[in-house]
Amino acid sequence: MGSIAEAGASSRDKIDVESVDRYVSSEWGTATLEGAELDLEDAVMGPTGRPQRDFPEPAPLASHGPARVIAMVNQKGGVGKTTSTINLAAALAEYGRRVLLVDFDPQGALSAGLGANPHELDLTVYNVLMDRKVDIRDAIQQTGVDGVDLLPANIDLSAAEVQLVNEVAREQVLDRALKSVEDHYDVVLIDCQPSLGLLTVNALTAAHGVIIPLICEFFALRAVALLVETIEKVQDRLNPRLQVDGVLATMYDARTLHSREVISRLVEAFGDKVFETVIKRSIKFADATVAAEPITSYAGNHIGADAYRRLAKELISRGGAP
């Protein structure tokens, strides 16, 4: 039996009423409520099988920096890395955090998603990596989102993987470049490309933490073992401070048994490392991308926006961001 039974009869009633209210009104949609009676025990459980909690509203920061650097990594494509990077950044900025986004994918989806035109970029992360005379501050741009800056990328970056091979300390190039701005930001989020090559290793070497966005489909689970192996190698050889901040389940569909099974597998494998916050599947995310805006401003009241705010609060309350 879960914690509800242990809580005793009187407090039990109270928990149920509040939680069911929330269950009906917001996060879990109607599909789960169709048909059979509502299972109250299920109702107070979040999709990760743990009781739903509210995370505290983050306290404002009195001063800024040094930044905590987080790499958003999964070598599988299309799992929600870029979407989560933009929206987590926007949510952190709503709580007064200064955020630098690093587009570390030659596809430049993050840059495009924030309205940067890939063909009109004078300086990108590529120039910062390859030419020590380029000051990272000259490449960083303000975005339309208050408190969020961007170090953009375009297709030039695809050459870096090959060119970096001959560099001294080739795994530390990004880390070195970020040093001069880390006091200006509270959080740096690096949006990695879907590969475990030298660029991603640079991101892991520069990072304090890794967030692994993971689409709620079985085939996606297979990629994780190799990813964890890579993270461990980087911890061993290059960056002992690196830790896994959390696994973020994305594109969750509460109506399917499949989604729920994937999450229970994840929790089995990663335990508390799985964020309690789960991102549901919604077309609104693609709409926001077309509008080149985070969902928090494109559709601020949408449950997708709330989910990323909740993720920001959860990350802060776990110590993953100041």
Interface positions, 288-317, toward ligand ATP (CB under 6 A): 289
Q: Does 71 engage in binding with Mg ion (CB under 5 A)?
A: no
SS (H, E, C) the chain: CCHHHHCCHHHHHHHHHHHHHHHHHCCCCCHHHCCCCCCHHHHCECCCCCECCCCCCCCCCCCCCCCEEEEECCCCCCCCHHHHHHHHHHHHHHCCCCEEEEEECCCCHHHHHCCCCHHHCCCCHHHHHHCCCCCHHHHCEECCCCCEEEECCCHHHHHHHHHHHHCCCHHHHHHHHHHCCCCCCCEEEEEECCCCCHHHHHHHHHCCEEEEEEECCHHHHHHHHHHHHHHHHHHHHCCCCCEEEEEEEECECCCCHHHHHHHHHHHHHHHHHECCCCCECCCHHHHHHHCCCCHHHHCCCCHHHHHHHHHHHHHHHCCCCC
Cα(95)–Cα(312) distance, integer angstroms:
9
Span from 127-135, 201-209, 225-233, 276-284 in contact with ligand ATP (CB under 6 A): 276-284
Query: What's the closest the beta carbon of residue 85 comes to Mg ion, in angstroms?
Result: 8
Nearer to ligand ATP, 154 or 250 (CB): 250
List 70, 92, 100, 109, residue binding ligand ATP (CB under 6 A): 109
Query: What's the closest the beta carbon of residue 7 comes to Mg ion, in angstroms?
Result: 42
Q: Taking CB under 5 A as the rule, which mask of x and - marks residues 221-260 in contact with Mg ion?
A: ----------------------------------------
Q: Does 109 engage in binding with Mg ion (CB under 5 A)?
A: yes
Written as six digits, the tokens of 41 are 């025990």
Nearer to ligand ATP, 308 or 322 (CB): 308
**Partner in contact with 313, chosen from ligand ATP, Mg ion, none, beta carbon below 5 to 8 Å by kind:** none
Query: What's the closest the beta carbon of residue 166 comes to ligand ATP, in angstroms?
Result: 27
Span from 53-61, 126-134, 161-169, 284-292 in contact with ligand ATP (CB under 6 A): 284-292
Q: What is the CA radius of gyration of the chain?
A: 20
Q: Does 111 engage in binding with ligand ATP (CB under 6 A)?
A: no
List 47, 58, 80, 152, residue binding ligand ATP (CB under 6 A): 80
Q: Does 81 engage in binding with Mg ion (CB under 5 A)?
A: yes
Nearest in space to 206 (alpha carbons), one of 224, 185, 220, 222: 185
Q: Are 244 and 273 in contact (CB under 8 A)?
A: yes
Query: What's the closest the beta carbon of residue 72 comes to Mg ion, in angstroms?
Result: 8
Q: Does 82 engage in binding with Mg ion (CB under 5 A)?
A: yes
Span from 102-110, 129-137, 165-173, 281-289 in contact with Mg ion (CB under 5 A): 102-110
Q: Are 146 and 115 in contact (CB under 8 A)?
A: no
* Type of residue numbered 45: M
Q: Does 251 engage in binding with ligand ATP (CB under 6 A)?
A: yes
Query: What's the closest the beta carbon of residue 190 comes to ligand ATP, in angstroms?
Result: 12
Q: Does 97 engage in binding with Mg ion (CB under 5 A)?
A: no
Cα(98)–Cα(75) distance, integer angstroms:
27
Nearer to ligand ATP, 51 or 194 (CB): 194
Query: What's the closest the beta carbon of residue 322 comes to Mg ion, in angstroms?
Result: 25
Nearer to ligand ATP, 152 or 322 (CB): 152
User: What is the contact surface with ligand ATP in residues (CB under 6 A)?
Assistant: 77-83, 105, 109, 194, 250-251, 279, 281-282, 285-286, 289
User: What is the contact surface with Mg ion in residues (CB under 5 A)?
Assistant: 81-82, 109
